[in-house]
Amino acid sequence: MDLQSIKALFLDMDGVLWHGKDPIGNLPLIFNKIQKAGVIPLFGTNNSTRTPEDYRDHLAKLGVEIEPEQVITPAVGAANLFMKDFSINARIHIFGSRALKEYLQNAGFSLVDEKADIVLVSLDKEMTYQKVAVAMKLINEGARFYATNLDNVLISENGWIPGGGVMVNAVQTCTGVSPIIIGKPNTIMMKIACQKTDLKPAEILAVGDRYDTDILGGLRAGCRTALVLSGVDSIESIAAYSEQPDMICQDLNTITDQLLADRSR
């Protein structure tokens, strides 16, 4: 695929930029090349355990300077969606991380444990039976059920760990209700990327290590897509899908090399 028409990257992070604490490749060099190519890096993750500011700080420690506005987390997607489907007065119950609560509270929403309009479920490393019970009660009372993502597992520096899909499944099992998904493969986050950059989906290359979230989301949004082999999926694991990504690359470094090469042609 020719990358000359690409004006922005929509980068997944876990499995693309790092495995847990370990960066994948020389990130400062990779981002230098992206800058040299004149391409805007945006970050889109289904991971809801960090705020955009947390990601800025984390990337700074790895030698990459970015602005929090370049980061689109499920919390950013949720705030956007809840404003559209409800209003700033929506009462939200969160069964999820501190970062998710912090972001939605700072966005102006009220977080509640009763009489909720919305129950939002995501990865909660302090999951308890009681939290599942509260979410169940509120949904049974009429709150609408949203989930940041259905990722069943995540890769960390210690190998595979349970993902947010585990908490979502617990609530789904006891309520019989399927959630509305905010994260990839839903296109909400990609649409925000288009709005932020004023670009058409076809001018954005969605880069990720998972077919069922990153690539499928990119395809649905009308973006160009690149699967990197530095994380979850492999050529074999995606072979059965009829719609293939535009490119399959070893890692992000390979893509940035091609970005630069296609621009100097």
Residues lying near Mg ion in the complex (CB under 5 A): 12, 14-15, 209
User: At 51, is the secondary structure helix, strand, or coil?
Assistant: coil
Closest CA to 90 of 120, 113, 110, 114: 110
Compute the least distance from the CB of residue 14 to Mg ion, in Å.
Answer: 4
Of residues 54 and 262, the one with the C-beta less far from Mg ion: 54
Compute the least distance from the CB of residue 252 to Mg ion, in Å.
Answer: 11
Of residues 124 and 233, the one with the C-beta less far from Mg ion: 233
Compute the least distance from the CB of residue 244 to Mg ion, in Å.
Answer: 18
The counts of H helices and E strands in the chain are 9, 15
User: At 119, is the secondary structure helix, strand, or coil?
Assistant: strand
Of residues 132 and 183, the one with the C-beta less far from Mg ion: 183
Q: 176: phi > 0 → left, psi -120 to 50 → alpha, else beta; which?
A: left
Of residues 125 and 200, the one with the C-beta less far from Mg ion: 125
For Mg ion, the nearest residue by Cβ is: 15
Compute the least distance from the CB of residue 16 to Mg ion, in Å.
Answer: 6
Amino acid at 261: A
Contacts of 214 (CB under 8 A, 6+ apart): 12, 184, 206, 207, 208, 225, 227
Of residues 117 and 209, the one with the C-beta less far from Mg ion: 209
Compute the least distance from the CB of residue 11 to Mg ion, in Å.
Answer: 10
Place of tokens 């099992």: 173
